[in-house]
């Protein structure tokens, strides 16, 4: 593409040189009429005017192409920026949703642990109440060894224990026949 463009430029320059050199020797004038106005030009001036017109046309075409390319580039950049902004916004939204989910999960865990702690406290209260009830109830086994007394809202329990049996040797019982035992 570059080589083809360079060849076309060289060909155009060679043709322009041929036109300028070929029209230099003629003294004849060329009349141009446009809208009732007549303009007389030499062949060399006509060739130069044509070349200048072509240069202006080429320059205008290049400016239009540059403007269109610049506008297309800006449009691509704007679209890319919008896409990047959407992605950032979506990432922030996803992060916010994750944070909300984490907070909800933490609150749920806290609620569950609070519920478990409350249930344990209730169970401990019930056990303590049962223990208080069992300690405050009079114990009576029908024998003379246990008795309960209540004083000023405090329950005390007194347990009478029989003395341990003492083993008695047969020699300890009335060794001399008098009926007395040795201690």
pLDDT tens-digit profile of 40-64? 888 778 878 888 888 888 888 888 9
3-state secondary structure of 136: helix
pTM for this predicted structure? 0.41
Residue pointed to by tokens 């360079």: 6
* Token output for 35: 């809208």
pLDDT tens-digit profile of 76-100? 999 999 999 999 999 999 999 999 9
Q: Are 77 and 83 in contact (CB under 8 A)?
A: no
pLDDT at 175: 60
H/E stretch holding 32: strand 30-34
Number of neighbouring beta carbons within 10 Å of residue 47: 19
């Amino acid at each position: 593409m570059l080589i083809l463009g360079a060849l076309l430029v060289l060909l155009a320059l060679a043709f322009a040189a041929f036109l300028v050199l070929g029209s230099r020797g003629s003294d004849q004038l060329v009349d141009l009429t446009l809208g009732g106005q007549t303009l007389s030009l030499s062949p060399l001036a006509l060739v130069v005017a044509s070349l200048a017109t072509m240069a202006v046309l080429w320059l205008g075409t290049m400016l239009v192409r540059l403007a269109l390319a610049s506008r297309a580039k800006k449009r691509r950049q704007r679209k890319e920026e919008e896409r990047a902004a959407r992605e950032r916004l979506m990432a922030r939204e996803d992060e916010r949703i994750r944070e909300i989910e984490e907070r909800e999960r933490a609150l749920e865990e806290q609620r569950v642990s609070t519920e478990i702690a409350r249930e344990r406290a209730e169970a401990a209260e019930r056990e303590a109440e049962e223990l208080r009830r069992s300690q405050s109830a009079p114990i009576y086994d029908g024998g003379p060894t246990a008795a309960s007394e209540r004083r000023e809202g405090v329950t005390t329990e007194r347990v009478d224990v029989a003395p341990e049996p003492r083993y008695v040797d047969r020699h300890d019982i009335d060794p001399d026949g008098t009926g007395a035992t040795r201690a």
